[in-house]
Amino acid sequence: MSPYEVPPQSIAGTRQTALQALLPRFDVTGNGFLPDRVPLSRLPDPYYAPWESLIQSLASHIQDNTVRDHINKLPVLALDRLHTEDERRRAYLILTFFAHGYIWGGAEPADVLPPPVTVPLLQISDILGLPPTATFASFNLWNFTSSHPSADFTDVDSLDALHTFTGTQDESWFYMVSVAIEAQGAYIIPILLQGLDTLQSLLSTTPSGDESSPDDFIPEPQPPKDPTWKAHQAAILCATKSLVEISTCIAKMGHILDKMHAKCDPHTFYHRIRPFLAGSKNMAAAGLPLGVFYDEGPSAEGQTRKGQYRQLRGGSNGQSSLIQFLDIILGVEHSSSGNSQPESDMTELKGPSEKTTSFHQEVRSYMPRRHREFLEYVMEHGGGGFRGVISQVLLHGPNMTSDGDETAGLADLIRAFKTATKALAEFRNKHLQLVTRYIIIPSRQQSQVAVVAGHNGQAMAGYGGAGAKGIVNLATASTSLMANGDKNQKDRIRHAGEAEGEVGDVTTVDCEESHNTARTRKGSSHQNPELTGTGGTALLPFLKQSRDETLLAGDLMTVTD
């Protein structure tokens, strides 16, 4: 249980009861989108011993290049002996690790996934409402243990990954930093929901004037009904406090992100870890032009194989429900499809006049089903988040700001909102700095040797760089792009590394300058090829646009003018 779980408040009266019932309904625990306890570390039924035996030795089989042989020899196991949600989640974790280990665990990627993985993976993915590929849930949410005496998952030093591809401390630390960030952000979820709901209650009543029911929690805004001065003041104060607290919370999340350097070496990450996180979407340069064929066994006639090619995004922090919740609750809107290849955008369209689905919308299908439903629920009932509701308050200002103290309260609310959006943008800027150090810089260094030493002192065969002869994966593809790309491309990435801070912390100037260019950059595209993220995105343009759109959300004039 997280030490930050918020006890019931009395500010919103019976509406707080609805809040307390809302979160469990969507599997949001005291640890936020993490489970309420450490994930299952072993399937109890001995029927699944072949899976458990192989997952424990996965890293060593990848190291000695025998992982595909071992996976091919697995039996095709049924799922009818998985009896709990914890067991089903563990099965999904194991099978997605097998899938990515098989695809990327060789000199060249395998574009056919065998039935011992494909058949149960397709089944368990359908049960859990997840795609049959490794996701943030399998790498992070359901892949950790804790040695902390009170199970405080915010303490990254007490966390350890249950499974990795490389067997290195670097990889475990990479996953666990994200787990700790998720835990740190847990306590802010009910605070923000209550703050938004309390502010929104000024603008909404049911047709009968009765209290909203739990199913109508966070109803859509309606014209104000002349609330009393005390209720108005209390609502504004509650909303302001919640926005002040989100800035504090995001700063704490940023402090955890800053610890990434402590135990995760950039070159180990780039050459050894990152290739296994990649999916099969937009991965032609990494050796998967068609994606991966999910082989479901022989057809009824026995002449062909059942199955199909699939192009799926890989595991990515963009699949974090926490970060998307912060976007939605603040009212940040994202438009980029995130694809690294312009032609990929066209495949998303159902017709010539329809808009492309944004990356942030698409990757919700890569989140656990109930978490995805929670985000959709808040979007549907949240009135555009704090940005939308505050804008409604300002539009109806003549009826709601007659008192001088109340006007000052609104000014505090607006100031707190702008600070909150800026804090989230600064967090994204920190992420950009990590991308520079862990991806951009290593991709430019052409003289990598074939052996990279991890933090644990173990010598590891190189999976990228100039010394990795004949190897094809995301690392070698990225390095090749940097070596062979045109001068403008390399100059742009070099300048990006300097702008995003190869050394030093994020500064206020960084975000202010980004704010000045947010509107002009939004929706822009580059003609030159871009480095691809593990989720298949055009890495730097996508991350910069997400940051700039966050800053743009703080400009309430774009709503009220």
Contact residues for 21 (Cβ-Cβ < 8 A; gap 6+): 214
Q: For the sheet with 112-113, list strands across it.
A: 112-113, 292-298, 305-310
- For 7-43, b/e burial (b = at least 16 CB within 10 A) is eeeeebeebbebbeebbeebbbbbbbbbbeebbbeeb
Q: pLDDT per residue over 158-171, tens digit each? A: 999 999 999 999 99
Write the pLDDT tens digit of every residue in 381-437.
888 999 999 998 888 653 544 455 556 688 999 999 999 999 999 999 999 999 999
Q: What residues form DSSP beta bridges with 309?
A: 293
Averaged over 178-202, what is the pLDDT?
93
**Where in 98-181 does DSSP place strands (E)?**
112-113, 144-146, 159-161
Q: For residue 532, name the pLDDT band (cuts at 50, 70, 90).
A: low
Distance CA 436, CA 439 (A): 6
Identify the band that residue 531 occupies on the pLDDT scale cut at 50, 70 and 90: low
| Residue 52, pLDDT above cutoff 90 | yes
pTM for the full predicted model: 0.82
* Residue that has been written with the tokens 């809107």 in this structure: 333
443 found inside a domain:
no
With bands split at pLDDT 50, 70 and 90, how would you rate the model's confidence at 473?
confident
Whole-number mean pLDDT of the chain? 79
pLDDT greater than 90 at residue 499: no
pLDDT of residue 356: 64
Domain carrying residue 100 = 28-186+263-315
In the chain, what is the greatest distance between 2 CA atoms, to the nearest angstrom? 81
477-499: average pLDDT: 55
Closest CA to 325 of 381, 255, 372, 258: 372
The reported pLDDT for the residue numbered 541 is: 75
Rounded average pLDDT over 77-100: 98
Q: What is the pLDDT of residue 334?
A: 79
The predicted pLDDT at position 234 comes to 85
Over 90: is that where the pLDDT of 216 sits?
no
Residue 554: pLDDT band with limits 50, 70, 90:
confident
Tally of domains in the chain: 1
255 is in an annotated binding site: no
Please state the rounded mean pLDDT for residues 504-508: 33
Give mean pLDDT, residues 109-123: 98
Cα separation, 339 vs 531, in Å, equals 11
Rounded mean pLDDT, 105-133: 97
Is residue 520 situated within a structural domain?
A: no
**Residue 510: its pLDDT value, please?**
45
Cα distances (Å, whole numbers) of residue 279 to 408, 423, 462, 473, 510: 51, 30, 20, 11, 32
Q: Name the band, by pLDDT with cuts 50, 70 and 90, for residue 552.
A: confident
**Mean pLDDT in residue range 314-334:** 93
pLDDT of 359: 78
Tell which phi-psi region holds residue 40, choosing left (phi > 0), alpha (psi between -120 and 50) or beta: beta
pLDDT of residue 1: 38
Is 2 a domain residue? no
Mean per-residue pLDDT, 129-154: 96
What would the mean pLDDT of 254-261 be, rounded to a whole number?
Answer: 97
Each residue's pLDDT tens digit, 359-373:
788 889 999 999 999
Q: What is the structure's pLDDT at 57? A: 98
Give the pLDDT score at 485.
Answer: 57
Percent of the chain with pLDDT over 90: 54
Is the pLDDT at 6 greater than 90, yes or no?
no
Q: Band of the pLDDT at 300, cuts 50, 70, 90?
A: confident
Confidence at residue 266, expressed as pLDDT on a 0 to 100 scale? 96
| DSSP one-letter code for 81 | T
| pLDDT at res. 213 | 43
Q: Is 504 part of a structural domain of the chain?
A: no
Q: What confidence tier does 23 reach under pLDDT thresholds 50, 70, 90?
A: very high
Q: Is residue 202 part of a domain?
A: no
CB 536 within 8 A of CB 403: no
pLDDT at 347 over 70: no
64: three-class secondary structure by DSSP: coil
Q: Does residue 104 fall inside a structural domain?
A: yes
The per-residue pLDDT for 13 is 42
Q: Which amino acid is at 12?
A: A
On the 0-12 / 13-18 / 19+ scale of CB atoms within 10 A, 397 is: middle
pLDDT over 60 at 77, yes or no: yes
Residues contacting 106, CB < 8 A, separation 6+: 65, 67, 68
Instruction: Write down the pLDDT at residue 295.
Output: 97
Residue 370 lies inside a defined structural domain of this protein: no
pLDDT for 355 equals: 55
Do 288 and 126 form a contact (C-beta atoms < 8 A)? no
Between residues 312 and 354, which one has the greater pLDDT?
312
- pLDDT at residue number 159: 98
pLDDT at 446: 54
pLDDT interval class at 229 (50, 70, 90)? low
pLDDT of 509 above 90: no
* pLDDT(516) > 60: no
Do β-strands 292-298 and 112-113 pair in parallel, antiparallel, or remain unpaired?
Answer: parallel
CA 271 to chain centre: 22
Asked if residue 549 has pLDDT above 70, the reply is yes
Residue 208 has pLDDT above 70, yes or no: no
Model pLDDT for residues 234-253, shown as the tens digit of each residue:
889 999 999 999 999 999 99
Q: Is residue 425 part of a domain?
A: no
**pLDDT at site 53:** 98
d(CA 362, CA 319): 9
